[in-house]
């Protein structure tokens, strides 16, 4: 198959959020097919030669944020001026999408969550119209549908949402990341989709501790006899971090909870609640987001900035007590680094992941004595930890590896252009 130019479009493709990470994994697979990947977003950390920054696509852009707040302020009636402003912003974005297509001579678009979650409604409207007008092939990658978030269900833009989240157009192949989303998409819209879970490169084993990250425990002030419990998420309410705090407080040994990321764009009220709860239960909780970046480096004062991959090898236990997840990248990361995991039975874990045979310390929305006992018992049994983590790794190699992603995307590409892509070594 001839070389194809693929255009990824999102709010941001930068950092370690799930959408950005999966976008780059897909790009790796397209590169393997001999395709070239290009990127349009409001924030990019990609090569400038293949990047097209349009600030208005970011959900934090002032105009996008203003329109979002007015659309989802709890009212049912849309002011005429808001309709006018949304359409004006849509026209601006529509012109930018056409410019992106023309600049890089794109053969296919891959919207990443932009036709899924209504953080920038004019962007989805613009994309829908461009796709309808050009009939360009599209793989729409859906991570978080609007019906999965309570805050989107009261609004004055239902007509736009019903038309664009996602649009029902012939040239679009829809991809979801879990079976619940697949079922709900079909039930609500009649749209069929392909299920492609989030993946990691399990074909390449985890990197060993090296000279740069050998001092992580010392840098964070964690004693050698202290249990290192890693919470590798942002501090947002649906992550259920208070459950990790309770578990640490109830363990039969000295332990510290290390929280890797800050609150981000969802406010700081919950972060304050987490800090107060840790003080109430008298446990040591370390918020180390200022020492963790997208990649290794140094601060101006000479202190190290570690990547999250530098931290995982030092953890004794990974806590993942999320109440709700689209998939669960942190679960795969813990498996990749062969760490035991505390996991809440959130719906996607319960229906998509656990039935494949994965083993973890489980909880059902609260920390029970049996959860505490299971954790204490496992942490005193290195042989059992090895058995479980090795088993989980082999299962991930089968179900959540790059090979899985490559085979799934190859099938879609073949459906679009009629023949298989030729792999490039």
- The domain total for the chain is 2
Q: Which residue from 247, 261, 253 is spatially nearest to 329, judged by alpha carbons?
A: 261
- The pLDDT value recorded for residue 16 is 79
Q: Give yes or no: residues 128 and 22 share one domain.
A: yes
In a domain, 205, yes or no: no
In a domain, 245, yes or no: yes
In a domain, 298, yes or no: yes
**What single string gives the DSSP state of each residue in 158-195?**
HHHHHHHSS---TTEEEEESSHHHHHHHHHHH----EE
d(CA 112, CA 119): 12
Q: Give yes or no: residues 174 and 143 share one domain.
A: yes
Contacts of 151 (CB under 8 A, 6+ apart): 72
In a domain, 210, yes or no: no
| Beta-bridge partners for 320 | 343
Are 339 and 317 in contact by the 8 Å Cβ rule? The answer is yes
In a domain, 9, yes or no: yes
Return the beta strands (E) in 188-325 as ranges.
Answer: 194-195, 227-231, 255-259, 284-287, 292-293, 297-298, 304-307, 317-320
Q: Give yes or no: residues 299 and 285 share one domain.
A: yes
CATH code for the domain in which residue 118 is found? 3.40.50.2000
pLDDT in tens, the chain (425 residues): 678 999 999 999 998 788 999 999 999 999 999 999 999 999 999 999 999 999 999 999 999 999 999 999 988 899 999 999 999 999 999 999 999 999 999 999 999 999 999 999 999 999 999 999 999 999 999 999 999 988 899 999 999 999 999 999 999 999 999 999 999 999 999 999 999 999 999 999 888 899 999 999 999 999 989 999 999 998 988 899 999 999 999 999 999 999 998 876 566 889 999 999 999 999 999 999 999 988 899 998 989 999 999 999 999 999 999 998 888 889 999 999 999 999 999 989 999 999 999 999 999 999 999 999 999 999 999 999 999 999 999 999 999 999 999 999 999 999 999 876 766 55
Q: Give yes or no: residues 71 and 171 share one domain.
A: yes
Q: Give yes or no: residues 38 and 181 share one domain.
A: yes
Structure tokens at 148: 């999965």
Contacts of 319 (CB under 8 A, 6+ apart): 229, 230, 231, 243, 244, 247, 257, 341, 342
Burial 188-220 (b: 16+ CB within 10 A, else e): ebebebeebbbbbebeeebeeeeeebeebbeeb
Q: Which residue from 116, 75, 111, 117 is spatially nearest to 93, judged by alpha carbons?
A: 111
Are 195 and 161 in contact by the 8 Å Cβ rule? The answer is no
Q: Give yes or no: residues 290 and 409 share one domain.
A: no
- The pLDDT value recorded for residue 200 is 95
Q: Give yes or no: residues 191 and 72 share one domain.
A: yes
d(CA 94, CA 113): 17
Distances (CA, A) of 132 to 123, 136, 226, 267: 14, 8, 58, 37
In a domain, 159, yes or no: yes
In a domain, 206, yes or no: no
Q: Which residue from 163, 97, 104, 160 is spatially nearest to 130, judged by alpha carbons?
A: 97
- The pLDDT value recorded for residue 157 is 97
d(CA 238, CA 346): 10
Are 217 and 258 in contact by the 8 Å Cβ rule? The answer is no
| Beta-bridge partners for 112 | 141
Find the domain containing 312 and state its range: 216-398
Q: Give yes or no: residues 242 and 230 share one domain.
A: yes
Are 386 and 359 in contact by the 8 Å Cβ rule? The answer is no
In a domain, 422, yes or no: no
Q: Give yes or no: residues 53 and 170 share one domain.
A: yes
d(CA 21, CA 24): 5
- The pLDDT value recorded for residue 108 is 98
DSSP assignment, residue 57? G
Q: Give yes or no: residues 307 and 165 share one domain.
A: no
- The pLDDT value recorded for residue 326 is 81
Q: Give yes or no: residues 104 and 227 share one domain.
A: no
Q: Give yes or no: residues 160 and 267 share one domain.
A: no
């Amino acid at each position: 198959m001839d070389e194809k130019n693929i255009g990824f479009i999102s709010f941001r493709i930068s950092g370690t959020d799930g959408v950005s990470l999966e976008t780059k994994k897909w790009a790796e697979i397209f590169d393997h097919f001999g395709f070239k990947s290009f990127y349009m977003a409001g924030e990019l950390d990609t090569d400038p030669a293949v990047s097209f920054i349009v600030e208005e696509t970011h959900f934090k852009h002032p105009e996008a944020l203003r329109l979002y707040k007015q659309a989802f302020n709890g009212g049912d009636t849309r002011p005429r001026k808001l309709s006018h402003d949304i359409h004006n912003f849509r026209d601006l974005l529509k012109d930018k999408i056409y410019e992106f297509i023309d600049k890089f001579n794109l053969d296919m678009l891959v919207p990443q969550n932009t036709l899924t979650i209504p953080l920038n409604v004019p962007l989805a409207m613009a994309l829908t119209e461009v796709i309808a007008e050009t009939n360009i092939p599209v793989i729409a990658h859906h991570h978080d549908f609007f019906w999965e978030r309570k805050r989107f269900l009261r609004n004055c833009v239902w007509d736009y949402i019903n038309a664009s989240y996602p649009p029902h157009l012939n040239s679009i192949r829809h991809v979801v990341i879990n079976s619940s989303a697949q079922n709900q998409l079909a039930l609500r819209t009649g749209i069929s989709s392909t299920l492609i879970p989030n993946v990691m490169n399990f074909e390449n084993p985890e990197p060993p501790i090296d000279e740069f990250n050998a001092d992580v425990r010392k840098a964070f002030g964690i004693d050698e006899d202290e249990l290192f419990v890693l919470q590798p998420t942002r501090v947002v309410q649906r992550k259920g971090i208070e459950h990790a705090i309770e578990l640490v407080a109830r363990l039969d040994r000295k332990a510290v909870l290390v929280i890797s990321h800050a609150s981000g764009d969802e406010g700081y009220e919950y972060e304050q609640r987490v800090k107060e709860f840790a003080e109430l239960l008298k446990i040591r909780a370390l918020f180390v987001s200022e020492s963790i970046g997208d990649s290794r480096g140094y601060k101006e004062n000479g202190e190290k900035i570690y990547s999250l991959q530098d931290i995982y090898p030092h953890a004794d236990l990974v806590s993942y007590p999320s109440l709700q997840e689209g998939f669960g990248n942190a679960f795969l990361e813990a498996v990749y680094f062969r760490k035991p995991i505390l996991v809440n039975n959130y719906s996607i874990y319960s229906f998509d992941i656990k039935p494949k045979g994965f083993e973890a310390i489980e909880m059902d929305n609260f920390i029970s004595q049996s959860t505490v006992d299971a954790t204490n018992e496992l942490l005193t049994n290195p042989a059992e930890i090895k058995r479980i983590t090795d088993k989980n790794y082999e299962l991930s190699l089968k179900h959540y590896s790059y090979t899985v992603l490559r085979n799934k995307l190859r099938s879609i590409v073949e459906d679009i252009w009629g023949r298989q892509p030729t792999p490039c070594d």
